Amino acid sequence: MAKSITTHRGSSLLTSTTHSGGIEPRSDRAALVLALGEQLRQIEGARFTASAEVISSGHAALDRLLPEGGFRRGSLVEWLSSGAGSGAATLALAAARPALENGQALVVVDRRRRFYPPAALRLGIPLERMIVVRPANDADQAWALDQALRSRGVAAVWAAVEQAEDSTLRRWQLAAETSGVLGFLLRSKRARREPSWAELRLGIEPVASEARTQARAPRLRVQLLRSRLGRSGSTVELELPFPATWPGDHETYRQTHPVPLDSSLAAAKARRRPKRA
Amino acid sequence: MVLYELHASGAAKVTASCPKLATAAAAPWTHTTDGIRPGMPLAEATSLAARAASDEAAAPPHLELVDPLADRLAIEELAEWCAPFAPTVGLEESPAPESLLLEVTGLGRLCGGEEKLARRVVAAFAERGLTVRAALADTLGAAWAVAHFAPLECPERTSEVEAILAGLAEPLIVPEGESPAALDPLPPAGLRLPADTCTLLAELGLHELRQIAALRRETLLARFGPQLLARLDQARGTAPEAIVARAAPPEWTFEWLFEHPTGRREMIEWTVNELVARTCEALAREGRGVLRLECRFEPEQGAAERFVIGLYRPSASPRHLEELLRLKLEQVRFREPLVSIRLRVLALARLECRQREFFAGDDSRDAPQHISLLVDRLSNRLGVHAVVRPWLLASAQPEFTCQYRPVSSLKERSLKKLGKAARSPALPSAASRSTLESGERPVHLEPEPRALAAISVAPEGPPMRFRHAGRDERVVRVWGPERIETSWWRTRCVRRDYYQVETADGDRYWLFRELNSGEWFLHGTFA
């Protein structure tokens, strides 16, 4: 029984079960779907303990969209986007920040060597907690991701994955489950038709800001494309960036510390210490 | 060629330059004859060099960032290569060693005289393409002083460079018992003293060692502390000083000789694991762990295959080492059957002991350990430069704001920080503050700005359309410009107007107009 379920793809299986439960009153149907989803998840991921912590994404609207109100440690999340400048990577990076609270590292796998850390700093991710891995080819990338997802010292892995085989994805998912690492994979929208081992699959589209006048923050439409808990299809619109909280609150820091005319001058002054003998 | 280093404040300073530039680039408006010198801001140095280049119609000098780790590894490799010349090879005690020390007591007789031995060493270095200054004396201190400060005896040659090279090739031999006499005319810097002590000595008018040697020891001790006396005694041979061998003592070498040469993979892997187990057992008994481990495969014929694994923290865990070795082993192909396999511990350190917690479960406390295991694995397979940590510099030009440093070259302290809970965060540094205060920055930055065909209506205005990735993009909204103008102290002056643009599809890009040429570039994507 268990075997047959695991080899099926989640979506087709779910429609058939809801259909068989069609005689239930409408209000119970949602609860039933949720319960069956939970059952399914327990069968699918035997080692995946329900006790793993659920972390808020740091954004209330996004949390409402997610079935569990956040991301569960040890799960893979796919972020599918169409365009290059959709904001999906920024959203995923911002959503990884709350996972870092317990002192572990963020691993960024940067195959194309285009990741720009100052943007992460602006989202409130301390750079000294970040390890950037720059593999030279796809095979190394797959291996590095696997290693990072397997390490207990890592809180989250953030990677843009262009091509990945089904078996590789499965391996990553198992690695994440054993260690409790949160894996954020940024993929192209084309991957939508491919099967997925990820716990969640989110589709991100930018909302053109023509209608609005002043707002500068980009708006994104996030759709829950697939979830192992079953509830999918809902959409939410939210705004980037998340309020960047500098550790120790950047705003207060700015108010209490006068900003020097030129920061490099201040730095030069601070460095002028007496030389040690 | 000019080497420079970057400081956290963004200031670039010259560390070293080739001697030709040091004199050729002497600025006409200064009265001194020295041109580019260490400690000079890079800006000054480049302007001097550019002037020199335009005078002589030569190419502008090559600028390169200093890499202390690479320097260190290179000299360690040389030290290892020197092993055939002397039983003990060491490096001078310094954070950035530049001298190799060879213990040659009693070896002169084997080579037909000490001078012949020295000439052989110099010739071997010359074959490698390296010019060295060799000196041989009774004491380490005397040899060091003579090698660094004895005047060059240059024979008459056609060119100055040739003469210097010929002078360098002559090894300096101080005959037995004459070390004090050889030291007398040398400057006090020859005693390996800190720079401020040397300055103090110079201010007091002590320019030669014979002047110092003539002073009373008590006054020297009172005025300069024990170091000067100790160095003086060591150089003159009245106090002992031994060369600290760089290589680990031979007991940390484990070798397996095959009775019948084998090329079988399983056999090789089994043997490596066996050797690792022996190494770990021996090391763990002493409470030490491996930092660098060399693995050498000797075939019947041909060159030996060798690789080195580096660890971030000392380890004596066979499982961890086996795994790291296996990662390397996978990339090696053996063409010939192997005769022997040898493991050698190149660097070791005391193991860090941690008490296990009775109520385990708090993973975050173990985070630094897990991270160091991960860093070891990643850097050994992907290469040290593929596993990096970002580092901010207070530079306004976006591509220079961020620098990467290999995680495995960081001090262990910073790795601990990597895993430590940021409950009491440090205040933001000047560099990160300036990043936070600048305009928005994209998550993806092109390694090089990419030239674009873009149309703007007003001559200094924002872009209306641009062509990117084979598509015409219509710009719907624009934010900016953010003018970034930096850098007369860099090699090239940069003036740019950055715009954040939104296309009809809602995608956001970071474009800039180069103000000097008016051309458009794509620099980043708000991915």
pLDDT digits (tens, 9 = 90+) for A61-115: 888 888 888 898 889 999 999 878 888 999 999 999 888 877 789 999 999 899 9
Chain B residues lying within 8 Å of A268, measured CB to CB: 9, 11
Task: For residues B196 and B295, state if they share a domain.
Answer: no
Q: What confidence score (pLDDT) does residue A253 get?
A: 40
Residues with Cβ within 8 Å of residue A52, at least 6 apart in sequence: A72, A73, A74, A75, A180
Task: For residues B117 and B213, state if they share a domain.
Answer: yes
**Burial state string for A21-32 with b = 16 or more CB within 10 A and e = fewer than 16:** eeeeeeeeeeee
Tell if the CB–CB gap between A271 and B7 is shorter than 8 Å: yes
- Domain boundary among the residues B437, B454, B469 is at B437
Least confident stretch, A145-159, B281-295, B477-491: B477-491
Does residue B368 lie in a domain region? no
Q: Does B416 touch chain A if contact means CB atoms closer than 8 Å? A: no
Per the model's pLDDT, the better-predicted residue between B457 and A4 turns out to be B457
Task: For residues B120 and B212, state if they share a domain.
Answer: yes
Task: For residues B321 and B231, state if they share a domain.
Answer: no
Does residue B40 lie in a domain region? yes
pLDDT band at B24, cuts 50/70/90?
very low
Least confident stretch, A8-12, A220-224, B65-69, B318-322: A8-12
Q: Encode pLDDT of B157-193 as tens digits.
A: 666 667 777 777 788 888 888 888 888 888 888 888 8
C-alpha A270/C-alpha A272 separation (Å) is 6
Range of the domain at B125: 109-236
Does residue B72 lie in a domain region? no
Does residue B291 lie in a domain region? yes
Decide if pLDDT at B283 tops 70.
yes
Residue A154, beta-bridge partner list: A105
Task: For residues B118 and B211, state if they share a domain.
Answer: yes
Q: Does B430 touch chain A if contact means CB atoms closer than 8 Å? A: yes
Task: For residues B471 and B520, state if they share a domain.
Answer: yes
Task: For residues B406 and B468, state if they share a domain.
Answer: no
Structural contact between residues B380 and B328, judged by C-beta atoms closer than 8 angstroms: yes
Q: Encode pLDDT of B74-118 as tens digits.
A: 888 888 788 778 888 888 887 778 888 888 888 888 888 888 888
Structural contact between residues B504 and B486, judged by C-beta atoms closer than 8 angstroms: no
Task: For residues B428 and B448, state if they share a domain.
Answer: no
Q: Does B450 touch chain A if contact means CB atoms closer than 8 Å? A: no
C-alpha B374/C-alpha B324 separation (Å) is 11
Q: What confidence score (pLDDT) does residue B33 get?
A: 43
Q: What confidence score (pLDDT) does residue A149 get?
A: 93
- Measuring CA to CA, which residue among B279, B229, B234 is closest to residue B252? B279
Does residue B81 lie in a domain region? no
C-alpha B164/C-alpha B155 separation (Å) is 8
Question: How far, in Å, are B118, B204, B402 from residue B235 at the CA level?
Answer: 20, 22, 46
Q: Encode pLDDT of B380-392 as tens digits.
A: 888 888 999 888 8
pLDDT band at B213, cuts 50/70/90?
confident
DSSP string, B221-252: HHHH-HHHHHHHHHHHTSS---PPBSSPPGGG
Residue in A149, A263, A273, A275 to test binding to B, most B beta-carbons within 10 Å: A263
pLDDT band at B275, cuts 50/70/90?
very high
Does residue B82 lie in a domain region? no
Between helices B265-285 and B318-329, what is the axis angle to 10°?
Answer: 150
Q: What confidence score (pLDDT) does residue B77 get?
A: 80
C-alpha B416/C-alpha B313 separation (Å) is 11
Chain A residues lying within 8 Å of B476, measured CB to CB: 208-210
Task: For residues B231 and B159, state if they share a domain.
Answer: yes
Return the half-sphere exposure (C-beta side, CA atoms, 13 A cut-off) of residue A40. 26
B residues 70-89 near A, CB within 8 Å?
A: none
Q: Does A211 touch chain B if contact means CB atoms closer than 8 Å? A: no
Tell if the CB–CB gap between A121 and B432 is shorter than 8 Å: yes
DSSP helix/strand/coil, B502: strand
Tell if the CB–CB gap between B505 and A126 is shorter than 8 Å: no
- The arithmetic mean of pLDDT across residues B242-258, rounded, is 76
Does residue B489 lie in a domain region? yes
Domain count, chain B: 5
Identify the residue whose tokens are 């190494």: B279
C-alpha B124/C-alpha B121 separation (Å) is 5
Q: Which domains does chain A have, with CATH numbers?
A: 2-42 (no CATH), 53-239 (3.40.50.300)
Task: Specify the CATH number for the domain of residue B318.
Answer: 3.30.1490.100
C-alpha B197/C-alpha A217 separation (Å) is 59
DSSP helix/strand/coil, A189: helix
What distance in Å separates residue B422's CA from the closest CA in chain A?
6
CB neighbourhood size of B301 (10 A): 9
Q: What confidence score (pLDDT) does residue B420 get?
A: 44
- The arithmetic mean of pLDDT across residues A218-228, rounded, is 87
- Measuring CA to CA, which residue among A12, A73, A2 is closest to residue A41? A2
Q: What confidence score (pLDDT) does residue B327 get?
A: 87
What distance in Å separates residue B185's CA from the closest CA in chain A?
26
The partner residue sitting opposite A268, judged by closest CB among B11, B367, B373, is: B11
Task: For residues B200 and B127, state if they share a domain.
Answer: yes
Does residue B431 lie in a domain region? yes
The partner residue sitting opposite A121, judged by closest CB among B371, B436, B477, is: B436
Chain A residues lying within 8 Å of B7, measured CB to CB: 271
Task: For residues B417 and B460, state if they share a domain.
Answer: no
Task: For residues B211 and B300, state if they share a domain.
Answer: no
- Measuring CA to CA, which residue among B391, B156, B336, B280 is closest to residue A126? B391
Q: What confidence score (pLDDT) does residue A49 get?
A: 53
Q: Does B215 touch chain A if contact means CB atoms closer than 8 Å? A: no
Between CA B342 and CA B351, with CA B345 as vertex, the angle to 5 degrees is 140
